[in-house]
Structure 1
Amino acid sequence: MDGWIYGYYVLLVICFAISLFYLQHEQVRLLAILLGISIVTEIIVELIGKDEAQPRFFIVYHFFVVLEYSLITIILRSGITDTRLKLLMEISIYVFGCISLAHSFIFGGWHYFPGINITIESFLVICWCLLSFFSITPNSEASIFRHPGFWLTLAFFFYFAGSMCVNGFYNLLLASDLKSARRLFVILNSFSNYLLYIMLIKGIVCFRSPRICS
């Protein structure tokens, strides 16, 4: 099982390294920050240890979810022209942050995997992705597949669609069958991460030249 996890760790680092060559673009700068935070988060989790019997590492993800949603929403927001929609997305960052942290600490959710937090995050990001798709306006002579915004949006869309399939009921699986729950989560989560980072890399490289992603 560790092979699945470390495989997407490698892709994460590669994606972060590539992003450093395109920091002149605002979306890539924000993405690089997100990738950097992701790397630090995974390092902290590895140092704490992934003992499912005493899941102390879950608290790290409760903070990460809020940061992740904020940065992804800002990235998607930069590609949208409707000012009212941009304002709504900005407000959602504060609302989601308050709701997520309140559930985690006021209601004791930090003792468990943040499945509810991630499910809400996934639903919101999927909504922003769908709206973002309609805002993409590539050059009339260029294919949509050469547009970096398309690949970044598609990456987030597929990743969070996959997250909703497992994260919402992960705690229930942990309570009923610990070993099967961990195996299923590792496989599905790793596969979603592979797609995410491959598409993000393609999107980042598209910033260099539209011709690169033909």
Structure 2
Amino acid sequence: MERMYGSGARTKPALARGAGQRLLLLVGEPGIAELLSTTLELAGYRTTLVGAGSEALERLAEQRFDLVVVDAALPDMVSLGRERPVVAHRPPVLVLTEYDSLDELVPELGLGERDYVTKPFRVAEVLARVQVLLRGAHPGRPRDGALGYRDLVLDDTRCEARRGTRVLDLTPAEYRLLRHLLVNAHRVLSKEQIGRYVWGDHRGDNAIEQLVSRLRRKVDHDAPGLIHTRRGFGYWLGLAEAER
């Protein structure tokens, strides 16, 4: 367990980010649960640990949490999704999921905005995603069915993307890529991650580079650049530090 999950916990710059926010951890595996609880407490968060979805919903009904961390592999998650329970407060959710299960991230539990970390994960990445979700920098939903970042809006109900008042003429692949970048704003996505999300498999680097290039020309035309290349690592969406 230490070999798979523990290395990120020694990344000191990632710690001390919390300000006493309440986190509900829905994690069944004892080793992972202890690692996350201990690390998040050291990082300044207050954590409550539960091992079943039904227990998590009881806690959510009893008190207000700022964020929920969910292990999507828990056996009772599917049945909870069918029941569609209603939760008064809708905290954001960070999902721990296997890479092959990204299409089935987590059932709808009446909670709020969702992000994910794939297993085996680095604790530093969990800390980073928690921080982004809590501070609201992760793109929200400015209107029903829409994802947004600054003046860039993607409306899933109409399968339409806009930059300011300009409607973007996107192909289905470009639309899926833009959605993946928006959901993971400020997070570098590798070419393999992009290929598997857009096409369901990993296409050649050249195909992904051409797709990103076409999308960048449409999104960033006559506007501050939002799509960036991290050489040797992949691509990310957001304003560069100097432009924020």
TM-score > 0.5, shorter chain as reference: no
TM-score with structure 2 length normalisation? 0.25
| Structure number with higher helix proportion | 1
Tell me which of the two structures has the higher relative contact order, counting C-alpha pairs closer than 8 angstroms and 6 or more residues apart. 1
| Structure number with higher strand proportion | 2
